[in-house]
Amino acid sequence: MIKPHGSDALNPLYVADEAKRAELQKEAEGLPKLMVCSQAAANAVMMASGYFNPLTGFMNLADSLAVAENMKTTGGLFWPVPIVNVVEDASAIGDAKRIALLDPNVEGNPVLAIQDVESIEEATDEQMTAMAQKVYGTTDPEHPGVKAFLSVGKCFVAGPIQVLNYSYFAADFPETFRTAVEIREMIAKNGWEKVVAFQTRNPMHRAHEALVKIAMERTGADGAVIHMLLGKLKAGDIPADVRDAAIRKMVELYFEPNTCEITGYGYDMLYAGPREAVLHAVFRQNMGTTHLIVGRDHAGVGDYYGAFDAQTIFDNDVPEGAMELQIFKADHTAFSKVVGDVIMMCEAPDGHKPEEFVFLSGTKVRAMLSAGEDLPPEFARPEVAKILMEYYQSLPQE
């Protein structure tokens, strides 16, 4: 199986030993408490799960600046985005060397992790802006990732962590949430060698279904892992439970048995486009997949990134040998009335006209489903469309 990123074996930061976890939970009662932001909590869950191997905790300011600038820590580890615990005010910590991190996303704010405090540093406004520009390619406050990054504070609390739970992800999505360790075990149990990962934060229509099958065929993959984001999204995105139901129905009916696994991970979307695509590749290698599908506007939002910037970053900015995982570069896919099947648009026959593709905007899809109108069968499987229609019709009508 493909090696994890940066080490020979995964180092998940979840404390699996029950006695040790109980001991740490008791210790946490007497430690200074720090409420972390949602992104820091998600970072902790990703480290707990082994997805962010080989990181042992939150980065300090120097590493954060170095990663933002050139995708390497000061120690030389290739990493695409800063993994940080940033807060507005760290005065409650004082000079404590160990603190308890509280979960902002679970009622009662239970202890999520214990952190050894190696440093507390305050970034300047200029440093925060520079990091945002490098990671997100913009400092526009309307960009949801930039807004989140620049709104939580400037105090970087760095140091290793021991994670006591998986926040709300394991409880809310018991059939879907899986750690990198569990996915590796699943791949090994299936006897898969080449495995394609498909990232999604949306339901999968026929174009997505075809893209997974195309990637599997062309890479010679034994199986595919549909890996959906279960954390916070932007307003208007479809909730994870609805996406999960729609994707499961599609795989059940339209994939060959034992060729596709449906899983999810606990993280908040960054909408960082190219840099986030590289992060996706890193943690897909950690979970044992050999290929990641990177398509048009991967991890993007609005018009902040070029259609294929998330592909070219692997050619232009990722050093050779930095990762073992390979990228499957995909074009936009849609049903061709000429070919009679879903194809990648770049492979359309000569003379194919744009209007000969069946393509609906997200706005049009939402409007049709809200009105109870069936989506074209060339665009969406009817069983999937039914699940989505029920969701949209349950929403308050404007």
Provide the sign of the torsion angle of the four alpha carbons 179, 181, 183, 189, taken in this order: negative
**Span 191-212, average pLDDT:** 94
pLDDT number for residue 123: 98
**Span 151-176, average pLDDT:** 96
Active site residues: 201-202
**C-alpha closest to that of 308 among 325, 331, 275:** 331
For the domain made up of 172-394, the CATH class stated in words is: alpha beta
**Span 105-125, average pLDDT:** 97
Q: Is the pLDDT of residue 236 over 80?
A: no
pLDDT number for residue 135: 98
Residue 129: both structure tokens together: 């802006």
pTM: 0.94
CA distance 60 to 57: 9
Based on the number of CB atoms within 10 Å of its own CB, is 27 exposed (0-12), middle (13-18) or buried (19 or more)? middle
Q: Which CATH number is associated with domain 18-167?
A: 3.10.400.10
Based on the number of CB atoms within 10 Å of its own CB, is 8 exposed (0-12), middle (13-18) or buried (19 or more)? exposed
**Span 248-270, average pLDDT:** 95
On the CB side of 36, how many CA atoms lie within 13 Å of its CA?
A: 29
Domain boundaries, the chain: 18-167, 172-394
Residue 338: strand, helix, or coil = coil
- β-pairing, 291-294 with 326-329? parallel
* Domain 18-167 matches domain 172-394 at the CATH topology level: no
Residue 216: strand, helix, or coil = helix
CA distance 58 to 378: 46
Name which residue leads in pLDDT, 367 or 103. Answer: 103
Q: 73-110: per-residue pLDDT in tens?
A: 999 999 999 999 999 999 989 999 999 999 999 999 99
Q: For the chain, how long is the longest CA-to-CA vector?
A: 71
pLDDT number for residue 398: 60
CA distance 142 to 200: 23
Range scoring the smallest mean pLDDT among 93-107, 270-284, 383-397: 383-397
Between the CA of residue 340 and those of 204, 254, 385, what are the distances in Å? Answer: 19, 17, 20
**C-alpha closest to that of 328 among 296, 283, 286, 303:** 296
Mean pLDDT of the chain: 94
